[in-house]
Structure 1
Amino acid sequence: METLEEAELCFPQLNASCEKRPRSQSEALLIYSLLPCFSLLTVVLNLLVIISISHFRQLHTPTNLLLLSLAVSDFLVGLLVVPFQILLIEPCWLLGDLACVLCSFLPFISVPATAGNMVLISIDRYVAVCDPLRYPTKFTQKTVKGLILLCWVYSVLYNLLFLFDNLRQTGKFNSCYGECVITINGTVDLVMRFIIPISAIIILYVRVFVVAVSQARSMRSHVAAVKLQRSLTVTVQRSELKAARTLGVVVAVFLMCYCPYFGVSLFGSHFVTGSSVNILMFNMVVFNSCLNPVIYVFVYPWFRKCIKLTFTLQILKSRSCHAKVL
């Protein structure tokens, strides 16, 4: 009986040790089978997006640079965040208090980085649809690269401040040995990483939708009388509207996957690793990172062509970067 009781403790030699949380068979299957599979699929699919946009010169547009930044964020989720998170959701944390905080750093970076990229994508579509004449001068590649850099710098600095209290006194919020608890200011986090970016995304896309409907009606009423120059403008507008619809799907999937995470912030600021809520929220985040490239496969012919060129090793040929993929 004594051996059984000791086996249920994370550190049997310590009286203040945490008890090992029992894990059901379904949870074990989810963590040790599905999560690694999702991780591998997320890495492979987003790597294809990164290779495609980086390699082919035709794809070096401001909008695609934003998709590239989003793909890098999703790629890091599969490559780094998932392995660390599997460690964090173990029944017992055995690596120490400092490692607990540091291993929590990468997962928390992915959330504001992804949200920031979504805001930039929404701004890009807003300007492209609502102010198409000035879009080429407002959203140059140099401008977009600067915005992407600011997005990532903000994500890193915010998370350093976000975890500062945990770093200053590691293990302060643990109730026993073998526990990894990260405490955050739930209200501030909810406002800065959810309410502000999500509000911006929704407002911008509502405006894009209103303008898109107006332009669609205008196109139908004047399509018979357009001249060559007007016809070119209509074609450009249709292209921008199609891109807005496609990226609108990406934004909608992001909202569905990330809203549950922030919904939990409304009910408390303590996230205990290994809890059922923690596991469920994390799987939603990983699912979002895996879904974005899948969306591109269905809606972007250029992505399907790039995948074909990549798997047939055509990209290894000289001057393959100048291939026509659009």
Structure 2
Amino acid sequence: MEIQKVPALCFPQFLNSSCRKPTLHWSKAVLLNIVFSCISLLTAALNLLVIISVSHFRKLHTPSNIVLLSLAVSDFLVGLLLMPAEILRSTTCWVLGDLMCSVYWYLTGNIICASIGNIVLISVDRYVAICDPLHYRTRITVKRTKLSVCLCWFYAIFYWSLYIKNILIEPGRYNSCYGECMFVSSDIAGIIDLFLSFIVPVSVIIVLYMRVFVAAVSQARAMRSHVTSVTLQHSSNQAKKSELKAARTLGVLVVVFLSCYSPFYCYYLAEENVVNDPSASTVIIIFYINSCLNPLIYALFYPWFRNAVKLIVTLQVFKHNSCEANIL
């Protein structure tokens, strides 16, 4: 007679209320932990390079780069905090307690909401730069951009404080046993969150980028058909080329963002309990991988990022007046 092995308890001292350890084979669990840990480390390291680059070099203190800096901060926190916590939550018992579980869900909501807000700000920045270039310098200033970024983070903090107030007031409220970290939202709250956190921002992003794309195509055609003979005209065309390249780069950023975020929200619509479903761990990791891909996009399309990384890796940033270096 074959005896089935009963999974061990997460907390043996709580016989009647302890969760059972996940039944993943040890080799699969080790592989998942290694892969996800490497992605987490890479995400944190790459975004830290973006943060140092934009913060250190004064030539990079532009409105567009300030929003990229804010996005890098949120992506860095994803790699540093959210990915390791999700690895722990999905592959083993939650041993950090109910309070840290509440903190995890609170930070998850704040950081992801801020990331989406930053993508919207990037879309607005490119829309004004391409569709209304004459008024870009007066409408999009460093001061206004910093204020917009602060408001974006304040909105994320305030919104998620309301959305998960129950789990903040009563940590462990949705856990059925010790060793679990669950969050359950009502149907109404879930629908409202779906609209505010995904449908509305994505609609704004798509509309703005459709208009940017149409304007960029028309400008590119005009530049190809226009013969420049004056130096001033040449410099103007160079500026337009720079703006078009930036729009194309940030367009790639938005496409990658939608590709990584859409599976989670589609799964959310199909499955009521997505955050608590073990089979959804892959979707959640794809959701987080967007934070690793963003700095890789910068490395591919932004020469200033590659130049900054060289100076950072070679420790040239510690030299006197290195912040004044022209890396553009």
Does the pair score TM above 0.5? Answer: yes
Q: Which amino acid aligns with 1:242?
A: K
2:164 counterpart of 1:163: yes
Q: Deviations over 1:223-248 (max 9, x none)?
A: 22664443333222211111000111
Q: Which amino acid aligns with 1:31?
A: L
2:328 counterpart of 1:310: no
How many residues in Structure 1 have an aligned counterpart in Structure 2? 323
Structure 2 contact 24–91 (Cα < 8 Å) conserved: no
Structure 2 CA distance, aligned partners of 1:109 and 1:146?
Answer: 18
- Pair 1:20–1:272, CA change in 2 (3 A): farther
Q: CA deviation at 1:92?
A: 2.9
- Pair 1:182–1:238, CA change in 2 (3 A): same
Matches within 5 A, 1:1-326: 5=6, 7-12=7-12, 13-24=14-25, 27-184=28-185, 185-221=189-225, 223-224=226-227, 227-273=230-276, 275-277=278-280, 279-326=281-328
Secondary structure at 1:181 match in 2? coil
Q: Deviations over 1:41-63 (max 9, x none)?
A: 11111111111111111111111
Q: Deviations over 1:262-298 (max 9, x none)?
A: 1122124424547121x21232133211111111111
Structure 2 CA distance, aligned partners of 1:90 and 1:18?
Answer: 13
Secondary structure at 2:227 match in 1? helix
- Pair 1:56–1:170, CA change in 2 (3 A): closer
Runs of 5+ unmatched residues, structure 1: none
- Pair 1:283–1:26, CA change in 2 (3 A): farther
> TM-score with structure 1 length normalisation?
0.91
Q: CA deviation at 1:120?
A: 0.3
Structure 1 CA distance, aligned partners of 2:64 and 2:135?
Answer: 15
Q: Which amino acid aligns with 2:69?
A: L
Q: CA deviation at 1:28?
A: 1.2
Structure 1 CA distance, aligned partners of 2:308 and 2:149?
Answer: 24
Structure 1 contact 101–166 (Cα < 8 Å) conserved: yes
Secondary structure at 2:116 match in 1? helix
Structure 2 CA distance, aligned partners of 1:176 and 1:32?
Answer: 24
Question: Matched residues, percent identical?
Answer: 50
Secondary structure at 1:165 match in 2? helix
Structure 1 contact 297–303 (Cα < 8 Å) conserved: yes
Structure 1 contact 182–271 (Cα < 8 Å) conserved: no
Structure 2 CA distance, aligned partners of 1:316 and 1:56?
Answer: 12
Structure 2 CA distance, aligned partners of 1:126 and 1:303?
Answer: 23
Q: CA deviation at 1:180?
A: 2.1
- Cα RMSD of the aligned pairs, angstroms, is 2.3
Runs of at least 4 residues off by over 6 Å: none
- Pair 1:229–1:251, CA change in 2 (3 A): same
Structure 1 contact 10–18 (Cα < 8 Å) conserved: yes
Q: Which amino acid aligns with 2:214?
A: V
Runs of 5+ unmatched residues, structure 2: none
